[in-house]
Homo-oligomer: A and B are copies of this chain.
Amino acid sequence: MKPNRLLQLWSEGRVAANAWLGLADGFAAEIVALGGFDSVVFDLQHGMAASADLPRLLQAVSSSAAVPLVRVPTNEPAMIMRALDAGAIGVIVPMVETAEQAAAAVSAARYPPAGTRSFGPTRAARLHGPAYHLQADAEVIVFCMVETRRGLDHLDAIAAVEGLTGLYVGPADLSYAVGVDPRMDSDDAAQVAAVARILAACGEHGIVAGIHTADTAFARRKAAEGFAFVTVAVDTAALATETAGRLAAFRV
């Protein structure tokens, strides 16, 4: 199993640039991944892809160096295991609200005795080698998203969960959590404070802070502040923006 590039970057104190994939198309994913991102996330919560699409989508980015991750739709062990069995190197789990939930997510991604992952790395072992199950726990990463009021209330306990790789900030749901309309790159005081709290909790517990961003200047600012896993592009938004932008430029 080749070393997880994200873990290498973080061990060197560097920031990983991530791309977010809402399309369920293999070639679109490959195009983005070949662009040089450190990782890509197939979004099964709000994107078009579903569990059934994972094998072909994960295969589609094999030609790139990007680490393939999956945002699962919910904190369901079987779904986390499927993503990993199909070759994903990590998961992002949304809507985590308690330390117990975070621990369950981590457990689903770790083989016994560390966790409760069921053995059956059908594609993972073909791809990563027969020793996969001995190495996976050290390479597979698990991010939890704290994005509700209840989650914020248990932030420290969540961040303290053993084996958790980091917390990932989803700004839109976090907006709701602090009582404002969903927005990216927000300068709303309450939202800024919540983001800061999450970053601080990560720092305190020695885990990685990740964040979804819209504007690259904002993304750079977040990286400077300490976020080491930064989503800087979203396929659906990029496609819409660039094509509509070209249309507008043509019709001017």
Interface residues of A (CB under 8 A from B): 17, 19, 22-28, 30-32, 34-37, 43, 45-56, 59-60, 62-63, 73-74, 76-79, 81-82, 85-86, 94-95, 111-113, 116, 118-123, 126-127, 133-134, 147-148, 170, 172-173, 175-177, 179, 181-182, 216-217, 219-220, 223, 230, 232-233, 235-236, 238-244, 246-247, 249-252
Contact B240 A241 (CB under 8 A): no
Contact B236 A63 (CB under 8 A): no
Contact A45 B94 (CB under 8 A): no
Apart from A45-B81, A119-B182, A239-B242: 6 A-B pairs, beta carbons within 8 A: A26-B59, A28-B239, A34-B126, A59-B62, A62-B62, A119-B176
Known contacts A111-B176, A239-B242, A246-B238; A24/B22 CB under 8 A? no
